[in-house]
Structure 1
């Protein structure tokens, strides 16, 4: 059996539902984790940040939690503070947040990126 993809998702997020439908259509095994109840750990987020390169890519800039904090506050955070904030509030994280068995990460759902990352 192929290693499982871990999808941190939010049930009311339409983008998450599209991503899960894409995984189903392409016959992938995956585990869904409610990002609001069990956000990724600070360690997992640090790995994602390392792989993705831009901290801003991890933030759900259109969400209520982000707007409540304010872009200026987020921008003024150092990396450690930003990772702590993301780990503490799953709603701050861009969804879906996907941990691949390879150690890579996908953030958000863009079919072109997913095709490239998962279908080669």
Structure 2
């Protein structure tokens, strides 16, 4: 399988737990801090398309920025291009953790799904 990119925020407890889970399951990943190396617009557009998920699934809905900027309403009305621009503007707006491989995008941690698709 191709290289797996693991996008995470090191201070996020879920991300830390997933990192341990990946190590425990001998799943090698290239780790990337989403706050210091934010996904680009081009990357996000490709990942959203590849995932088959709506762009709204890529938003960190429990994050401070999401709430402060009232993105809940914007996600319902903005175009996909506008939403991708918002995601590309700040890594803290992006749902995490993410794993991206050549043919797979996993958004948010679901242990059963990750085990099925990564092992």
| Fold conserved between structures, TM > 0.5 | yes
- 1:97 alignment counterpart: 98
Any residues of structure 2 matched to 1:30-41 within 5 Å, and which?
A: 30-41=29-40
> How many Å apart are 1:81 and its aligned residue?
0.6
Deviation at 1:38, TM superposition (A): 1.0
Q: 1:74-108 CA distances to partner (integer Å, 9 max, x unpaired)? A: 322110010011011100111112211x3311111
Unmatched 5+ stretches in structure 1? none
2:22 maps to 1:29: no
Report the alpha carbon displacement of residue 28 of structure 1 after superposing the two structures with TM. 1.7
Match of 1:5 in 2: 4
Q: What is residue 67 of structure 1 aligned with on the other side?
A: 67
- CA deviation map 1:4-27 (0-9, x unaligned): 311111011111112111110111
Aligned partners of 1:13 and 1:52: how far apart in 2?
A: 26
> Alignment RMSD, CA only?
1.4
Distance 1:78 1:69 in 2: 17
Residue ranges of structure 2 left out of the alignment (5+ in a row) = none
Runs of 4+ more than 6 Å apart: none
Secondary structure of the residue that 1:73 maps to in structure 2? helix
Q: Which residue of 2 aligns with 1:88?
A: 89
| Aligned-partner Cα distance in 1 for 2:13–2:52 | 23
Structure 2: distance between partners of 1:28 and 1:3: 12
Q: Secondary structure, in 3 states, of the residue corresponding to 2:37?
A: coil
Corresponding residue pairs, total: 117
